[in-house]
Chain A
Amino acid sequence: MTIAWYLAVSAVIFAIGAGGVLVRRNPLVVLLCLELMLNAANLALVGFSRMWGNGQGQVFALIVLVVAACEVTVGLGVIVAMHRLRLPSDVDTMRELQG
């Protein structure tokens, strides 16, 4: 398959993730949708890496993987802290970043 097919799949996954961020309100699912978008970017990076026959894009994808893991860790920590404080798990009502 040509590289264009992979890039097309990546674009569709990215748009699904973006739509999910807009539609869903549970912060856990919003984090999952962010994961989708990061994975779409990873697929595009690896595809371009294959296109040039150059491993640097794969290193970039690996760094994106690390950043995604950090984001998940901190995001889940925030969600657990919200749960401890008895705040509603709803991104629309979370308007202030205090406490």
Chain B
Amino acid sequence: MSAVLFFIAAAGTLAGAIGVITLKDPFYAVLALVGHLVSLAVLFLLLHAEFIAAAQVVIYAGAVMVLYVFVVSYIGGQNLSSGQGPGRAGRFGAFACAGALVIELFIAVLGSGLRSIGTIGARVAVGFGSPEAIGSLLLTKFLVPFEIASYLLLLAAVGAVTLARRRGGLDDRGDGTPTISVMDFMRPRPFGTGTMAEGFGHGEALSAAQSERRQERES
């Protein structure tokens, strides 16, 4: 039973992976990756990694893929440049590299001399891979990596907002080259910058209201 499930899930992961690199439309590539991730979660379940499987489905197939879908629908999937892809020689070279990598990894893994690689794994306790086991490991032995991961997530969120925000920061310095500098974060910005109201074109109205208020205060 587990062998049948393994082959179905492995075929799903490989089909999803091939779909990601062959489908032309990035939207379909994202959907293929979702299929790949769900099949991979089944493989994790077969390896007694219940918590990782659940996190995979929730974080990846849920949150990250929604982010991808939003970005694909925002920038439009088809705005590829008119240039050609890698030529026939480049494509052949890439697949030759990938094939060489497969052979190398097979030699490295299967010829590693690890004796228990041909077994189904060590005998494990009942709670192996459960949220309880992973949580106790994260909060005792791996507390420092856990905290570093939380800081990393915070930094990534701030960085993504800084990179992708709507206005401000990217000043045109007269020669048509948009630039960004540290000082842009220090200057006071008009009221409503970076809000949804500005996104819908009401930012100027907001700043106009603010300047009116300031004039009233001065007079």
- Chain B associates with chain A: yes
Given known A4-B109, A8-B109, A23-B86, contact A29–B159 (CB-CB < 8 A): no
Residues from chain A with Cβ under 8 Å of B71 in the complex: 28, 76, 79-80
Contact A99 B177 (CB under 8 A): yes
How many positions in chain A have a CB within 8 Å of any CB in the partner chain? Answer: 75
Interface 0/1 of A61-91, CB less than 8 Å to B:
1110111111111101111110111001110
Interface residue tally of chain B, by bracket? Answer: 35 or more
Question: 8 closest A-B pairs (Cβ-Cβ)?
Answer: A53-B122, A19-B98, A20-B21, A77-B163, A70-B156, A22-B94, A11-B105, A77-B160
Q: A1-B3, A42-B52 are in contact. List 15 more A-B contacts (CB 8 A).
A: A3-B117, A3-B119, A11-B105, A17-B17, A25-B80, A26-B26, A36-B17, A39-B36, A58-B49, A63-B149, A69-B59, A74-B159, A77-B161, A77-B163, A92-B83
The one of A23, A26, A31 that contacts B80, using a Cβ cutoff of 8 Å? A26
Q: List 14 A-B contacts (CB under 8 A).
A: A2-B118, A9-B13, A20-B21, A31-B68, A43-B43, A44-B109, A50-B49, A50-B122, A52-B116, A65-B56, A70-B153, A79-B71, A83-B74, A93-B81
Contact A36 B36 (CB under 8 A): yes
Contact B43 A6 (CB under 8 A): yes
The one of B97, B134, B153 that contacts A19, using a Cβ cutoff of 8 Å? B97
Within 8 A of A (CB), among B93-139: 93-95, 97-99, 101-102, 105-106, 109-110, 114, 116-124, 128-129, 133-134, 137-138
